[in-house]
Amino acid sequence: MEKKKVVIALGGNAIQTGDGSEEAQQNAIRKTVALLVEIVKLGCQIVITHGNGPQVGNILLQQKIAGTQGIPPMSLDTCGAMSQGMIGYWIEKELDDALREQGIEKNVASIITRTEVDLNDPAFENPTKPIGPYYSREEATQIMQQTGAKYAEFPGRGWRQVVPSPQPMNIIEHSVIEKLVSLDFIVICAGGGGIPVYKENHKYIGVDAVIDKDLGSEKLAELINADVLLILTDVDHVYLHFHQPNERPLKKVSTAELKRHIEEGHFEKGSMLPKVEAAIKFVESRPDRVAIITSLDKALDALLGQAGTIVEK
């Protein structure tokens, strides 16, 4: 396989599969990193992005508890930065160790990344992105009255805080990331889609929002001129009629076909839909680009064209 620039968007299952403890998360990352090393062996230049939903939710909860003890709580954008630093450190550490064990000389760098958004984005009027733990209706009502935060019901699971999820306009550190990749660094960045900021009078100001991880990864992949966007999730393929008797996996598919399937309502909002939208946007940004959606276990085979949903223009 010729040397390609690949942005790998890790799903939540690549980081947290157990009880959410530090040890459990690092164990999950250790297993993930073993598979990433196999991709490095293909000769790819890789950039790793990751989610942060459970982690930033836990940090926010810790901030709320600290607030009851008179310790000033941090804002959501700052909590996002905390989660980027924490998860980036874990991936960096495990990947560095795994590469050395394999005798591979590679520099690994984790970059705190900001994503520019537009304050006029309609998403700010309609918060939909869930963060933090689930609560009962009574608990959620009490928290909303006390804090003014917005909560929504997720049937069968409970009530959860929702925040705006605006479209990513720019990844501010993309030039730094592209330069490091050109020097053959492995870069970990754009955690949780990037820390949302907006520009006002030549200054960047943090805002309480969460960028969709896959759409943030797509924007980064475009800006650093990547060849492949590899979106890793907990299923091997994108499916039509998911979890129905007539379920069917999509293997090689065009962007036009995917757009038709979106219109037919095949993909769930907040789950597979943003992944499919990111894949379409990336592939249509340059004719020779490829997007792949698959599971972590199938990542290597998918890059070789032997697994996953492969999206081409």
How many C-beta atoms surround the C-beta of residue 95 within 10 A? 25
Clarify whether 12 is annotated catalytic. yes
* Dist. CA 162–CA 242, nearest whole Å: 25
Which is catalytic among the residues 4, 12, 106, 259? 12
Clarify whether 246 is annotated catalytic. no
Clarify whether 129 is annotated catalytic. yes
CA 90 to each of CA 48, 93, 95, 109, 110: distance values in angstroms, whole numbers, following the listed order: 13, 5, 8, 12, 10
* Dist. CA 220–CA 169, nearest whole Å: 10
Clarify whether 85 is annotated catalytic. no
Using alpha carbons, select from 7, 103, 87 the residue that is nearest to residue 46: 7
Kindly give, in sequence order, each residue whose CB lies less than 8 Å from that of residue 270, ignoring residues fewer than 6 positions away.
128, 129, 130
- For residue 228, the Cα-to-chain-centroid distance in whole angstroms is 16
Q: What is the sign of the dihedral through the CA atoms of 55, 61, 62 and 64?
A: positive
Which is catalytic among the residues 52, 57, 80, 129? 129
Which is catalytic among the residues 4, 13, 170, 259? 13
CA 297 to each of CA 173, 188, 234: distance values in angstroms, whole numbers, following the listed order: 30, 20, 9
Which tokens belong to 25? Answer: 């998360």
CB distance 47 to 189 below 8 Å: yes
Which is catalytic among the residues 11, 51, 192, 275? 275
* Dist. CA 263–CA 132, nearest whole Å: 31
DSSP state of 167: P
In DSSP terms, which residues pair with 204 in a beta bridge?
199
Kindly give, in sequence order, each residue whose CB lies less than 8 Å from that of residue 71, ignoring residues fewer than 6 positions away.
none
DSSP state of 118: -
> Degrees (nearest 5) of the Cα angle 236, 224, 221?
25
Which is catalytic among the residues 88, 213, 281, 308? 213
Which tokens belong to 13? Answer: 């299952």
* Residues classed as catalytic: 12-13, 129, 213, 275
